[in-house]
Amino acid sequence: MDAGVKTRDGRWRKPRATFTWQALWRSEKARGRFYQVAAVAAVAAAILFMAGNAVQSMAARGMRIGLGFLWNEAGFTLAESVLPFHPTDTFLQAFIAGLGNTLWISLVSLIFATALGVLLGIARLSSNWLISRGSAVYVEIFRNTPQLIQIVFWYTLFTLLPGARQAWHGMDWWFLSNRGLVLAWPADRPAFTIVLLTLAIGLTGIYFFAKWADRRQRRTGQPLPVFGLSILGLAAAGLLAWLATGAPTAIEHPKLVGFNFRGGMALSPEFLALSLGLVLYFAAYISEIVRSGIQSVGKGQIEAGRAVGLHGAELYRHIIMPQALRVIVPPITAQYISLIKTSALGVAVGYPELFNVSNSIMTLSGHTLECVVIMGAVYLLLALSVSALMNAFNKAVALRGAAR
């Protein structure tokens, strides 16, 4: 081995390294980067090749490519929409209305599927044989039957209900018929929305208050009635918001006019069928995730919690759930993303979510490729947003000792 070169002052220095392709290829790091660049280049080339073929084929048929069609008049109506939409609006507004329906059905289904899944997961671990076996039967039924069949089953069931004049009802507060479910609702909807937003912000505040109360108890040894104070604070926040909006008390009761109901809040059979299909299906998967997360907590931890006087809800809040969340959050994130994407099955029952609305736009505009790309980009953005939010939540609930 060459020891180096002796300089005039008697010191030795290493010879300068000469660049060779063989030496570069021997570097594992350089080879890894080369493979990554080559893979990205191959995928990009394949996409460009397919896009070029698609453009040529469409040009040969006299079809133009571009997004200018988004500002053309839509010319169709939506059976229901959480955002205002009229036939004279543009295709872009139709896309936005479909996205609004997708977000609405996804949010409602996500909340109820999570609540039901958590209850079922805990119930499966119950010492009561009937509760645990009943939960297991539910999970096996809904997890092992196709979701599309479940959605179509619920839709068929709702269409077989009595007509509006023979609707099942509870006084004047709710009516259930083949037209859907109609509920009595506050007449001042903006004020009611403000109160709901205040309560949602209050729930976030309760989370941080509970964290602070736990740190205070560890520091001083003095517990606080977290549950009671949280309920009191949430009620106070809702009351203040209600008073600030003028304290409205009027309730709009639904009334039968002709062959349908007017007033109140109406939930169509399509919405009910799709939401039930999403909630009941994904709750089965969420329950298994919750059950496995709870079972991942060592029995010694639970016995230690009981030894210091923790029982029931306190044991779950202080010992079980903080440790189980590390196991629960990552797989439940995948279920949330799947729920949002699976809402596209609303096309089977006629619910005007994003996929259904996009099909109508494709038919009327003839811009199939652009509509498919827009749909893919929107669903990708929704999935990445949910993933980012859940990753942030996972970091917030992570045990600091485990993180180190």
Return the SS3 of 135.
helix
Contact 69, 91 (CB under 8 A): yes
Please give the model's pTM, rounded to 2 decimal places.
Answer: 0.79
d(CA 365, CA 74): 9
- Share of the chain residues as helix, strand and coil, in percent rounded to the nearest 5: 70, 5, 25
Domains of the chain are: 91-187+250-399 (1.10.3720.10)
Contact 70, 236 (CB under 8 A): no
Of the pLDDT bands very low, low, confident and very high (cuts 50, 70, 90), residue 184 is confident
From the CA atom positions of the chain, what is the Rg in Å?
29
DSSP readout, 171-204?
Answer: TTTEEEETTEEEE-EES-HHHHHHHHHHHHHHHH
Q: What is the mean pLDDT of the chain?
A: 84
Return the SS3 of 308.
coil
E strands, 58-183, are: 168-170, 174-177, 180-183
Average confidence (pLDDT) over 164-175: 83
Contact 224, 218 (CB under 8 A): no
Of the pLDDT bands very low, low, confident and very high (cuts 50, 70, 90), residue 111 is very high
CA–CA distance from 131 to each of 108, 126, 135, 384 (Å)?
26, 7, 6, 37
Token readout for 36 is 């990554």
Residue 243 has pLDDT above 70, yes or no: yes
Of the pLDDT bands very low, low, confident and very high (cuts 50, 70, 90), residue 325 is confident
CA–CA distance from 370 to each of 70, 74, 312, 355 (Å)?
10, 16, 55, 13
Residue 400 has pLDDT above 70, yes or no: no
More confident call, 348 vs 27: 348
d(CA 330, CA 347): 29
Average confidence (pLDDT) over 139-156: 93
Q: Which of 283, 291, 282 is nearest to 125 (CA)?
A: 291
Of the pLDDT bands very low, low, confident and very high (cuts 50, 70, 90), residue 357 is very high
Q: Which helix (H) or strand (E) element contains residue 326?
A: helix 321-342
Q: What is the pLDDT of residue 402?
A: 45
d(CA 390, CA 336): 9
